[in-house]
C-alpha cells in the first residue's frame, strides 16, 4: 500500500458520530385536569348562584341551597387555585372568579344601596329586635349588647314574658306582651291588633302604636315560620323516593301563604302612618318569598351596611362551628316616611339569633 505522510493522516475526515434518538416522554396530564376541573367548578358555582338568586324557594333543591351554609363552596375553589398556581397557571382566572362569586354573590356580601341618610334635624329613634328564644342560653349577654345601643324601642320574638334582668335595667319603660311577642319602649305603647295566619294556624305578627317625640308611629313585630321544619324531610331515601322534595315544596307553599297573610295584615294597618316592621322573618333578603312580600320596604341593613350581617343560627350544629351564623334572616324594614342612618348586628351568642338594631328618623 502507498505510504501516507502524517499530514495527510491528520487531514482525513473525522468519523461521524451516531446521533442519539431522543426518547419521547409523555406529556403530563395533571395540568389539563386542573384546567378542566377549574372550568367545570366555575360552571357549578354559576349554577348555584342562579338557583339561589333566581329560583330560590320555588324549587326544593334551590330551597336547600338557600338555607344551607354557603361558605363550604369556597373550599374546592381554593384547593383548585393552589393547584393552578403550582401546575396550570392558565386556569388561575377561573378559580379567582369562582372565589369572588362565592364571597360576594353566593354568601351575599352586601354593598349599601346608597339609601343611607345623612344628618337630620329630627330626633333619631333607635330600634332593636331579637328572637330571644325564651331568653336562653344567656340573655344577660344579649342584654348587655342591647344596652350599649341606647335603644328607644325593643322588640323580642319567642319571649312570652319579660325577663327580670330586663325589668331591672328598664324599670320605667312601657311594655306589652302578646303571645310570643314582647314590645318595650321608653314611650307609651298601644296595641292595634295581631295577625292570625291560616297557613300554620298561628299568630305571626303584633302591631302597636307608639307615642314618640317625633309623633305617633306604628310598629309591627313579626315572626314567620322557619324553612328548617320542611328541609328536615330531605333524607337520602326520601329524595330518591320523591316524597322528600314533595314535602319541602308543599311546606314552602304554606310558608309563602303565611308571609302573604302577614303582608296583607301589615298593609291594612299601616295606612299613611310612619311604619317600622321588625323581627325574625326566617328568610334572607334573596328569598323569593321575601322578594314577593317585603322588597317594597327599605331594609335597614341593605341600605346602610357593608358585609354579611349574619344573624342566625348561633347554636352549635353537628357539622358546623358554634357561634358562627350563616344567614341574615332577621330584619328591620321601614316605609317611605323614614330615613335610615345606620344598622348594627349583635356579636354574642346569648340566643340562637343575633340582635339587629337601626337608627332612623322621620323625613324632614
pLDDT-wise least confident of 79-83, 121-125, 148-152, 180-184: 121-125
The secondary structure of the chain in percent helix, strand, coil, rounded to multiples of 5, reads 40, 25, 35
Q: pLDDT value at position 65? A: 96
What is the number of structural domains in the chain?
A: 2
Q: 139 with 259, same domain?
A: yes
Contact 341, 304 (CB under 8 A): yes
Torsion on CA atoms 134, 137, 139, 144, rounded to nearest 10: -150
268: number of Cβ within 10 Å? 12
pLDDT-wise least confident of 19-28, 222-231, 260-269, 289-298: 19-28
46 is written with which cell numbers?
354559576
Nearest residue to 312 (alpha-carbon basis) of 198, 210, 221, 223: 223
Q: 201 with 333, same domain?
A: yes
| pLDDT (mean) for 41-48 | 97
Q: What CATH number is attached to the domain comprising 160? A: 3.60.10.10
Residue 7 lies in a domain: no
Residue 21 lies in a domain: no
- Band (pLDDT 50/70/90 cuts) for residue 30 is confident
Contact 130, 330 (CB under 8 A): yes
Each residue of 225-245: pLDDT tens digit? 999 988 988 888 888 888 999
CA-to-CA distance for 83 and 95, rounded, in angstroms? 10
With b for 16 or more beta-carbon neighbours within 10 A and e for fewer, the 63-93 pattern comes to: bbbbbebbeebbebbeebbebbeeebeebbe
Residue 117 lies in a domain: no
Alpha carbon of residue 62 to chain centroid: 15
Residue 181 lies in a domain: yes
Torsion on CA atoms 285, 287, 290, 296, rounded to nearest 10: 60
Q: What is the DSSP string of 145-160?
A: HHHHT--SEEEEES-S
Q: pLDDT value at position 121? A: 52
Residues 6 or more apart from 217 whose CB is under 8 A from it? 125, 209, 210, 273, 274, 275, 276
Each residue of 128-164: pLDDT tens digit? 999 999 999 999 999 999 999 999 999 999 999 999 9
Q: pLDDT value at position 24? A: 47
Pairing outcome for strands 298-299 and 181-185: unpaired
Q: 201 with 252, same domain?
A: yes
CA-to-CA distance for 56 and 50, rounded, in angstroms? 8
- Band (pLDDT 50/70/90 cuts) for residue 13 is low
Percent of the chain with pLDDT over 70: 88
Q: 166 with 83, same domain?
A: no
Sign of the torsion angle spanned by Cα atoms 45, 47, 50, 52:
negative
Q: 187 with 309, same domain?
A: yes
Q: 135 with 85, same domain?
A: no
pTM for the whole structure: 0.87
Residue 6, pLDDT > 70, answer no
Each residue of 295-308: pLDDT tens digit? 999 999 999 999 99
Residue 16 lies in a domain: no
Q: 88 with 168, same domain?
A: no
Residue 24 lies in a domain: no
Q: Which of 52, 75, 106 is the last residue of a domain?
A: 106
Residue 59 lies in a domain: yes
Q: What is the DSSP string of 4-52?
A: --HHHHHTSPPPPPPPPPPPPPPPPSHHHHHHHHHHHHHHHHHHHHHII
CA-to-CA distance for 80 and 85, rounded, in angstroms? 9
Look over the chain and give the mean of its residue pLDDT values, rounded to a whole number: 90
Q: 139 with 99, same domain?
A: no
Torsion on CA atoms 311, 313, 316, 320, rounded to nearest 10: -90
- Band (pLDDT 50/70/90 cuts) for residue 354 is very high
Q: pLDDT value at position 159? A: 95
H/E stretch holding 276:
strand 275-280
Q: 97 with 194, same domain?
A: no
In which domain, by residue range, is 275 found?
125-362
CA-to-CA distance for 42 and 51, rounded, in angstroms? 14
Residue 163 lies in a domain: yes
Q: 98 with 152, same domain?
A: no
Q: Which residues pair with 332 in a beta bridge?
A: 278
Residue 72, pLDDT > 90, answer yes
∠ Cα 175 183 205 (to 5°): 135
Q: 221 with 308, same domain?
A: yes
Q: 151 with 41, same domain?
A: no
More confident residue, 22 or 168: 168
More confident residue, 308 or 18: 308
Q: pLDDT value at position 359? A: 97
Amino acid at each position: 500500500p502507498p505510504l501516507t505522510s502524517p499530514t495527510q493522516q491528520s487531514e482525513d475526515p473525522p468519523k461521524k458520530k451516531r446521533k442519539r434518538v431522543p426518547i419521547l416522554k409523555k406529556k403530563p396530564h395533571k395540568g389539563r385536569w386542573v384546567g378542566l376541573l377549574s372550568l367545570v367548578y366555575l360552571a357549578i358555582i354559576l349554577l348555584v348562584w342562579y338557583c339561589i338568586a333566581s329560583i330560590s324557594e320555588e324549587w326544593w333543591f334551590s330551597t336547600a341551597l338557600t338555607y344551607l351554609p354557603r361558605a363550604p363552596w369556597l373550599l374546592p375553589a381554593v384547593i383548585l387555585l393552589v393547584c393552578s398556581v403550582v401546575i396550570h397557571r392558565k386556569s388561575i382566572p377561573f378559580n379567582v372568579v369562582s372565589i369572588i362569586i362565592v364571597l360576594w354573590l353566593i354568601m351575599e356580601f352586601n354593598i349599601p344601596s346608597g339609601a343611607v341618610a345623612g344628618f337630620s334635624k329630627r330626633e333619631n329613634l333607635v330600634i332593636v329586635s331579637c328572637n330571644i328564644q325564651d331568653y336562653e342560653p344567656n340573655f344577660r349577654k344579649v342584654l348587655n349588647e342591647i344596652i350599649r345601643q341606647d335603644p328607644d324601642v325593643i322588640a323580642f320574638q319567642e319571649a312570652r314574658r319579660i325577663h327580670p334582668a330586663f325589668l331591672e335595667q328598664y324599670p320605667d319603660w312601657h311594655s306589652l306582651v302578646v303571645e310570643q311577642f314582647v314590645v318595650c319602649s321608653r314611650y307609651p305603647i298601644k296595641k292595634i291588633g295581631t295577625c292570625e295566619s291560616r297557613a300554620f294556624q298561628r299568630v305571626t305578627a303584633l302591631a302597636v302604636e307608639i307615642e314618640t317625640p317625633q309623633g305617633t308611629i306604628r310598629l309591627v313585630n313579626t315572626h314567620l315560620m322557619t324553612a328548617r321544619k320542611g328541609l328536615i324531610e330531605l333524607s337520602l331515601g326520601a329524595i330518591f323516593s320523591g316524597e322528600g322534595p314533595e314535602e319541602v315544596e308543599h311546606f314552602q307553599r304554606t310558608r309563602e301563604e303565611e308571609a302573604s297573610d302577614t303582608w296583607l295584615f301589615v298593609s291594612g294597618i299601616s295606612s299613611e302612618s310612619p311604619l317600622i316592621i321588625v323581627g325574625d322573618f326566617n328568610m334572607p333578603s334573596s328569598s323569593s318569598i321575601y322578594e314577593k312580600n317585603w322588597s317594597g320596604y327599605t331594609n335597614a341593613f341593605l341600605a346602610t351596611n357593608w358585609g354579611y350581617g349574619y344573624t342566625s343560627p348561633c347554636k352549635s350544629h353537628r357539622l358546623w362551628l358554634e357561634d358562627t351564623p350563616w344567614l341574615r334572616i332577621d330584619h328591620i324594614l321601614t316605609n317611605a316616611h323614614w330615613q335610615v342612618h345606620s344598622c348594627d348586628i349583635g356579636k354574642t351568642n346569648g340566643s340562637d339569633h343575633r340582635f339587629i338594631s337601626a337608627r332612623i328618623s322621620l323625613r324632614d
